[in-house]
C-alpha cells in the first residue's frame, strides 16, 4: 500500500507547472471554472433553444425587451437553421455541454497523458468562441437587434477560450518537442494518444524544465 508521502509526491508530480506558465494548465483549479461556466452557458442556451423550437412564448431579456425574440426568430436565424438543420441555440447547448464534459475528463497531467483529449477540448472551445463573435456581429450589422442572453453566452465563450488556451498550448508544445527531438511519426502518434515511453517522458521533462521568464 502506498504511503501518504508517496501519494503527496505523485500529486506534486501531476501538478507541476508547465512553462511558460507558472501554473499547471490541467489543474482542477484551471478546469473547474471552465466546466461551471460552460454548464451555465448550456442552461442559458437551453432557454433560448426552447423559444426557437416554439416551446415557450418568449425569452427573458431585462435590457433589450423583445429584441431577443426578434433576433432568435430573425431571417438570419432561420437561414442558419435551414443550412445546418438545427437551431443555433440548440447547437450551443450541445457545444457547451461538450465543453463541460471534456473539461472534466482526464487527470491533472492530461496535457501529457491525454493530448488528444486536450486538443479535442480546444477544438470544441475555440471555434465556439469564434462563432459566438460572428453571431454577435450578425446581431449588430444584419439583424439590427440585440439579444441579452446571446451576448452573455458570447462573453462566456470568449472567457472559455482564454481559460482553455494555456492547456491546449501545453499539449501542442509537448508534441512539438517530441517531434523536434525525434522526427519519428510513430512516436509522435503515440504521444498524441498518451502512450508512455522513455523518449516521451524525456520530452515532457524537457518542457517542464524550461526557464519561466
Question: For residue range 73-109, what is the model confidence (pLDDT) as tens digits?
Answer: 988 888 888 888 888 899 899 999 999 999 999 999 9
pLDDT digits (tens, 9 = 90+) for 33-75: 999 999 999 999 999 999 999 999 999 999 998 888 999 998 8
The predicted structure's pLDDT at residue 111: 96
3-state secondary structure (DSSP) of residue 124 = helix
Highest mean pLDDT range out of 4-13, 78-87, 196-205? Answer: 196-205
The pLDDT of residue 160 is above 80: yes
Rg of the chain on CA atoms, in Å: 21
pLDDT band at 200 (very low <50, low <70, confident <90, very high): very high
Task: Give the number of other Cβ atoms within 10 Å of residue 101's Cβ.
Answer: 14
Phi-psi region of 54 (alpha: psi -120 to 50; beta: other; left: phi over 0): left
Residue 25 has pLDDT above 50, yes or no: yes
Cα gap 48→153, rounded to integer Å: 11
On the question of pLDDT at 4 being above 50, the answer is no
Confidence of residue 10 (pLDDT cuts 50, 70, 90): low
Average pLDDT in the chain: 89
pLDDT of residue 67: 86
Instruction: Tell me the pTM.
Output: 0.86
CATH code for the structural domain at 25-164: 1.20.1440.130
Within 10 Å of residue 43's Cβ, how many Cβ atoms? 13
Reported as a single tens digit per residue, the pLDDT across 121-151 is 999 898 888 888 888 888 888 888 899 999 9
pLDDT value of position 127: 86
- Enumerate the domain spans of the chain: 25-164
CA gap 130, 95 in Å, rounded: 13
Q: Which class for 181: exposed (0-12), middle (13-18), buried (19 or more C-beta within 10 A)?
A: middle
How far apart are the C-alpha atoms of 38 and 59, rounded to whole Å?
20
Amino acid at each position: 500500500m502506498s504511503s501518504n508521502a508517496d501519494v503527496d509526491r505523485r500529486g506534486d508530480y501531476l501538478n507541476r507547472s508547465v512553462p511558460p506558465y507558472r501554473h499547471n494548465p490541467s489543474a482542477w483549479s484551471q478546469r473547474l471554472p471552465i466546466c461551471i461556466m460552460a454548464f451555465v452557458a448550456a442552461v442559458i442556451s437551453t432557454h433560448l433553444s426552447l423559444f426557437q423550437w416554439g416551446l415557450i412564448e418568449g425569452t427573458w431579456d431585462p435590457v433589450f425587451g423583445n429584441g431577443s425574440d426578434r433576433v432568435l426568430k430573425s431571417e438570419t436565424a432561420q437561414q442558419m437553421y435551414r443550412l445546418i438543420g438545427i437551431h443555433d441555440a440548440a447547437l450551443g447547448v450541445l457545444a457547451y455541454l461538450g465543453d463541460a464534459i471534456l473539461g472534466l475528463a482526464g487527470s491533472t497531467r492530461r496535457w501529457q497523458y491525454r493530448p488528444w483529449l486536450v486538443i479535442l477540448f480546444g477544438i470544441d472551445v475555440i471555434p465556439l468562441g469564434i462563432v459566438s463573435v460572428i453571431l454577435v456581429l450578425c446581431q449588430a450589422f444584419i439583424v439590427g437587434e440585440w439579444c441579452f442572453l446571446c451576448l452573455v453566452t458570447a462573453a462566456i465563450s470568449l472567457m472559455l477560450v482564454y481559460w482553455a488556451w494555456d492547456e491546449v498550448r501545453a499539449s501542442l508544445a509537448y508534441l512539438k518537442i517530441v517531434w523536434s527531438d525525434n522526427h519519428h511519426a510513430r512516436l509522435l502518434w503515440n504521444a498524441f494518444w498518451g502512450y508512455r515511453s522513455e523518449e516521451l517522458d524525456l520530452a515532457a521533462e524537457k518542457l517542464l524544465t524550461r526557464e519561466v521568464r
